[in-house]
Structure 1
């Protein structure tokens, strides 16, 4: 059965992110290759991945080559660094779906690039990226930036189990 995964902020090809976020890579090429391997180690060909933005700093051909090497059906929610390129550009490089706005998944998970305002009365958990190594406190936020998860996509179940008490999952 196909699984659903979530991840954000790969910044493929962005050499400066290695220093900005203290990523453990020698250079951008080492970073790219490691992140591709970690993605494909958990994501199967039939799985779906929601990438919550800031995917690549590379040109069209290099980005297309990376997307083609990644397993799964890939849905991109545009991040702040992705918005300089059109929705059709991202579809052309190989994403199966591209969202310009946040989406609600399974009537409970609010998927966005940047953390969204969530008050204690809102029924959602905001699964987001953008803030890299930082973390918002509270039960309404779940950061899927690569820095928190060893550059490996998380399954829907991993996120659900972390934010929903087990008696509510039944």
Structure 2
């Protein structure tokens, strides 16, 4: 049965991110290949992946090669480094769907690139990227950036297992 996965902020082709985020790679080529391998180790051809932004710093041809190497039906929510290229550029790069705006998934998970303000009365958990190695405290945010998850997409069940849903009492 197909599964659903979430990930963000691979920054394929971005050499400086290795130093900025203390990524454990000796080169950008090694980083890109390791992340492709980790993606395909967990995501099958029939699975869906929500990518929450900042996918690639490469040109269209090289980005298309990476997208085609990755398993699954791929949905991109544009990140701050993706927006300048526009929705059609990313569709041409091979994403199956591209959203310029956050999405609500399963009536409970608010998917966005940047963390969104969530007050304690909002009925959502914000699954987001953008802040790389940082974390927000509390039950209303879940940072899906690759630095937290060994550069591997997480399944929906892996996220729900980690999210503490507060019961009204």
- Matched with 2:149 is 149
Give the distance between the partners of 1:20 and 1:164, measured in 2 at CA.
31
- Matched with 1:9 is 9
Give the distance between the partners of 2:142 and 2:37, measured in 1 at CA.
24
- Matched with 2:132 is 132
- Matched with 1:59 is 59
- Matched with 2:86 is 86
Give the distance between the partners of 1:23 and 1:61, measured in 2 at CA.
25
How big is each residue's C-alpha offset from its partner over 1:102-135, in whole Å with a ceiling of 9 and x where there is no partner?
A: 0000000000000000000000000000000000
Structure 1 unaligned spans of 5+? none
Cα deviation for residue 86 of structure 1 reads 1.3
Aligned counterparts, 1:93-104, within 5 A: 93-104=93-104
Give the distance between the partners of 1:49 and 1:73, measured in 2 at CA.
6
- Matched with 1:32 is 32
1:121 and 2:121 aligned: yes
- Matched with 1:69 is 69
Give the distance between the partners of 1:101 and 1:72, measured in 2 at CA.
21
Structure 1 runs (4+) deviating above 3 angstroms are: none
TM-score in terms of structure 2 length: 0.97
The number of residue pairs the alignment matches comes to 167
- Matched with 1:161 is 161
1:50 is paired with a residue of what secondary structure?
strand
Cα deviation for residue 161 of structure 1 reads 1.1
Cα deviation for residue 164 of structure 1 reads 3.7
How big is each residue's C-alpha offset from its partner over 1:66-109, in whole Å with a ceiling of 9 and x where there is no partner?
A: 00000000000000000010101100110000000000000000
* C-alpha RMSD of matched pairs (Å): 1.2
Give the distance between the partners of 1:63 and 1:31, measured in 2 at CA.
14
How big is each residue's C-alpha offset from its partner over 1:39-67, in whole Å with a ceiling of 9 and x where there is no partner?
A: 00000000000000000000000000000
Give the distance between the partners of 1:31 and 1:67, measured in 2 at CA.
15
Give the distance between the partners of 1:35 and 1:129, measured in 2 at CA.
16
- Matched with 1:49 is 49
